[in-house]
Amino acid sequence: MTEPQTNNPKSPVSTRHERSRRPASWRAKLALLIASVVFCLGALELGLRLVGRGPLGDGLESRSIEATSSVPRFAEAQRAGWIPAGSTGERLAPFPEHPLGYLEFHRDENGLRGAAGVSLTRPNDVARILVLGDSHAEGMVADQETFAARLEHHLNSRLDLAGETETQESLRWQVLNGAFRRASPLQEYWAYEQAYKELDPRVVVCVFFVGNDLMDLLRSSDRIHLERESTGDWTIVNPTSATNATEDRVTWTEVIKRPFRRHSAIYRNLTDIPWLRRAVVDSTASDYRVRLEQAAAQEPGWVWQAANQLVYFAKHPEDEATAWEQVRWIWRRWHAETEQDQRRLVIALLPTGIQIHGEQWSDRRAKLGELLDLPTTSWNELDRQYDQALAEAQGLGVSVVDLRRAMREHIDQERAAGHEPPLLYYEIDQHLNAAGHEFVAEELERWLRAEDTP
């Protein structure tokens, strides 16, 4: 029998098989590596979503929300993101400037803050006032501390204001707070048009905040916004069905970031890491944006409630002119509709805390001016914009409550009496505090008495 030869060279066939297996093994290792990375990222993505740290999406502006209203028209508006959904206690914490250290927001099923059991049909013995605006009207205070709640309390405590019916002693007042955070003046009008006018208010109080309402109108990605037609007039469009008029100004970095922002929880959480966010901003943003981010890290309330608009419009005055065009379009249309329905539109002009307490906060104001390279005189632009808002409303025949004048007179009276002027705004957050809301409620009540309205 012939012994097998153990040292024979490998046959050509076996050599070819081994060579063909080598690249296959490397491909398998590469595929395994890729699969492992994808699995880990997928698991991380899923985990972040499960703990409530999901993707940013398009933000509040365009995402659909769950409807809570039993009224079809209100439910449709909630699903479209035009009005808020109901809430049994959204908590904002920490909020150190409020005595509680936190804030809770309760809304009824129709999205009205602090309301309970408000029927769609107005009872015969009830007169309604509807409040609309952004976070300054919604209130960064407790539900019962908002100026809407305080005004309702005052009106029901002084029934001699009850108006024009023979049974005025039995007339009750409801002041309904339909304001919501980040709302632009157009979104406030749209919320009224699509839902809240069904509540049959006799008076509609629209709060115009001079610190950022103009700039809010320029957000072309909002769930509802204005675009100019070829005729030169403005038209209301929804971003889900309309072309973004400013698309040609979007940078290549924004084009890359958009899908990650909309669909990636990992991206959202990476951008929440301060040092990483600063590094990305510094590498891609303009000098304006870099300065803004740096200032906002130190004084977020001052930046987003006033300084951002000042800096931007100083560089882009043509955009401010566009925003004023939109304000006129909205107020003219809203005023005409409320008059037709035998209601009254009132613009409550709200100044910034800087305009009221600038001297008391001079050090903080100077520090922010250095961060943003703002000359001292730049803060005067807030008064100029306030004056223009006042003139625009008066020119259109819209009723106006001038809160800047009232606040300044009140502070001057306190000083003349030898008292320390009260703070009406939070120094850091820059929204009205509880004392500020009480002051606004009293001014609105005083205006209603003087105007015999309702």
Note the pLDDT tens digit of each residue in 410-426. Answer: 999 999 999 999 999 99
> What is the C-alpha to C-alpha distance for residues 92 and 140, in angstroms, rounded to an integer?
9
pLDDT of 126 higher than 90: yes
Which residue in 45, 81, 78, 41 sits closest to 62, CA to CA?
81
In sequence order, which residues have a C-beta less than 8 Å from that of residue 169 and are 6 or more positions away?
Answer: 159, 162
pLDDT of 454 higher than 90: no
Note whether 45 and 264 are within 8 A (CB).
Answer: yes
> What is the C-alpha to C-alpha distance for residues 347 and 188, in angstroms, rounded to an integer?
12
pLDDT of 453 higher than 80: no
More confident call, 196 vs 14: 196
CATH entry 3.20.20.70 includes domain 116-451: no
> What is the C-alpha to C-alpha distance for residues 216 and 179, in angstroms, rounded to an integer?
15
Rounded (10°) angle between helices 317-340 and 185-194: 20
pLDDT for 431: 98
Please, which pLDDT band fits residue 190 given cuts at 50, 70 and 90?
Answer: very high
Please, which pLDDT band fits residue 61 given cuts at 50, 70 and 90?
Answer: very low
Range from 38-42, 93-97, 99-103, 254-258 carrying the lowest mean pLDDT: 254-258
Please, which pLDDT band fits residue 66 given cuts at 50, 70 and 90?
Answer: confident
pLDDT for 146: 98
Please, which pLDDT band fits residue 303 given cuts at 50, 70 and 90?
Answer: very high
List, as own/partner pairs, every contact residues 43-52 make where C-beta atoms lie below 8 angstroms and the sequence separation is at least 24, other chains included: 44/266, 45/264, 45/265, 45/266, 48/265, 48/266, 48/268, 48/269, 49/265
What's the pTM? 0.78
pLDDT for 18: 55
Residue spans per domain, the chain: 25-54, 116-451
Query: pLDDT tens-digit profile of 197-256?
Result: 999 999 999 999 999 999 999 988 777 889 998 898 999 987 543 333 333 344 555 567
pLDDT for 62: 37
pLDDT of 174 higher than 90: yes
In sequence order, which residues have a C-beta less than 8 Å from that of residue 323 and are 6 or more positions away?
Answer: 214, 215, 217, 218
Query: What percent of the chain stands above pLDDT 70?
Result: 80
> What is the C-alpha to C-alpha distance for residues 181 and 111, in angstroms, rounded to an integer?
12
In sequence order, which residues have a C-beta less than 8 Å from that of residue 80 and are 6 or more positions away?
Answer: 64, 194, 223
> What is the C-alpha to C-alpha distance for residues 322 and 215, in angstroms, rounded to an integer?
10
